[in-house]
C-alpha cells in the first residue's frame, strides 16, 4: 500500500499524532468504544432514531448526543443500512457522542452537501490542518480512509497515546495487520506491521471457515468448483488494482 491510498495532503497532521490504521469493521468500532469508554456517533449526521425509537434518517439538526440512544448505538455497531452507507459511502467520521458539539462546530464545520443518495459529502478531515486542535476537544476520532473507506484511522490527542498502544496490542492478538504513517526523507511513508504468525493464522482460518460456511449455506458451493471461482475473483481484483495504479500514475504525470 502507498500513503496516497489514505491521504491527499503531502504532510497530513496525523504524522505528529498518535495513530493507527487497520481494517474498518464492526469489531474495530466496538473495540474503540470499549477502549475509550465512549458511545460513538457519526459526525456530522443526525442520528436516525429519536428518543421514541422512531426511525427517520432524513431529520436535520438533531443533537449529536442522540447517537448515544440505544437504538442508534445498535444501528452503528451492527452496522445497519443507514450506518453502513454513511461509513462506506460518505465522509462521515466517528466521534464520542458526548463531545461539545458547538465547540467542535466552531473549530471545524465539516457538514457537507447532501447528494441525491441522501449522504453528506465533506472534505476528508484527516487531511485538514485543524485536526490537532479538534482532538483537543474530542480526545479521539475514528476516520474511514482509503478510496473504498475499508480502513479505519484511529487518532488521538497526544495525552491519549496509551489508547493507540493498547489498540496496537489488540490488533496483534486478533491477527490484524496495521500501519501508521511517518515522514522519510521529506516524503510520506507507511510503516506496515503484520500480527504474529500464530495469531494471523488463527484469524485467517476462522475467516475462511466462516466464508466456506456462507458459500455452502447460501449457494450450496462447498466443493472444488469453489476454487475456480476464487481464482477468477483474485484475477479480477489483480486487474482492478493494476488499473487503479495506472490511473493514479497518469493523474500524477504532466500532460
Each residue's pLDDT tens digit in the chain (255 positions)? Answer: 788 889 988 899 999 999 999 999 999 999 999 999 999 999 988 899 999 999 988 887 789 999 999 999 999 998 888 898 888 877 889 999 999 999 998 887 655 555 555 554 455 788 888 899 999 999 999 999 988 889 999 999 999 999 999 999 999 999 999 999 999 999 999 999 988 888 888 888 888 888 888 888 888 887 888 888 888 989 998 898 888 778 777 766 665
CA distance 81 to 137: 29
CA nearest neighbour of 111 among 92, 139, 136: 92
Contact between 186 and 175 under an 8 Å Cβ cutoff? The reply is: no
Task: Write out the H or E segment, with its range, that includes residue 21.
Answer: strand 19-23
Count of CB atoms situated within 10 Å of the CB of 246: 10
Contact between 254 and 244 under an 8 Å Cβ cutoff? The reply is: no
Measuring CA to CA, how many Å separate 227 from each of 88, 168, 205, 232? 29, 34, 16, 9
List, as own/partner pairs, every contact residues 149-152 make where C-beta atoms lie below 8 angstroms and the sequence separation is at least 24, other chains included: 149/24, 149/87, 149/88, 149/89, 150/23, 150/24, 150/88, 151/6, 151/21, 151/22, 151/23, 151/24, 152/21, 152/22, 152/23, 152/24, 152/28, 152/29
Tell me the whole-structure pTM to 2 decimals. Answer: 0.81
CA nearest neighbour of 153 among 162, 161, 165, 145: 145
Amino acid at each position: 500500500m502507498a500513503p496516497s491510498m489514505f491521504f491527499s495532503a503531502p504532510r497530513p497532521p496525523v504524522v505528529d499524532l498518535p495513530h493507527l490504521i487497520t481494517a474498518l469493521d464492526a469489531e474495530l468500532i466496538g473495540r474503540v468504544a470499549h477502549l475509550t469508554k465512549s458511545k460513538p456517533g457519526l459526525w456530522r449526521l443526525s442520528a436516525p432514531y429519536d428518543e421514541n425509537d422512531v426511525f427517520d434518517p432524513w431529520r436535520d439538526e438533531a443533537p449529536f448526543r442522540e447517537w448515544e440512544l440505544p437504538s442508534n448505538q445498535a444501528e452503528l455497531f451492527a452496522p445497519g443500512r443507514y450506518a453502513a452507507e454513511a461509513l462506506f459511502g460518505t465522509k462521515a467520521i466517528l466521534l464520542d457522542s458526548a463531545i461539545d458539539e458547538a465547540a467542535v462546530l466552531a473549530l471545524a464545520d465539516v457538514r457537507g452537501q447532501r447528494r441525491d443518495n441522501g449522504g453528506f459529502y465533506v472534505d476528508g478531515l484527516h487531511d485538514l490542518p485543524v485536526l490537532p486542535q479538534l482532538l483537543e476537544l474530542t480526545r479521539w476520532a475514528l476516520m474511514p480512509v482509503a478510496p473504498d473507506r475499508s480502513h479505519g484511522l484511529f487518532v488521538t490527542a497526544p495525552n491519549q497515546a496509551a489508547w493507540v498502544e493498547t489498540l496496537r496490542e489488540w490488533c496483534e492478538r486478533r491477527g490484524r495487520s496495521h500501519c501508521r504513517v511517518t515522514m522519510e526523507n521529506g516524503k510520506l511513508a507507511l510503516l506496515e506491521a503484520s500480527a504474529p504468525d500464530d495469531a494471523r493464522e488463527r484469524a485467517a482460518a476462522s475467516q475462511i471457515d466462516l466464508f466456506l460456511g456462507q458459500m455452502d449455506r447460501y449457494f450450496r458451493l462447498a466443493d472444488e468448483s469453489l476454487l475456480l471461482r476464487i481464482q477468477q475473483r483474485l484475477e479480477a481484483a489483480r486487474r482492478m488494482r493494476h488499473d487503479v495504479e495506472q490511473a493514479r500514475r497518469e493523474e500524477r504525470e504532466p500532460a
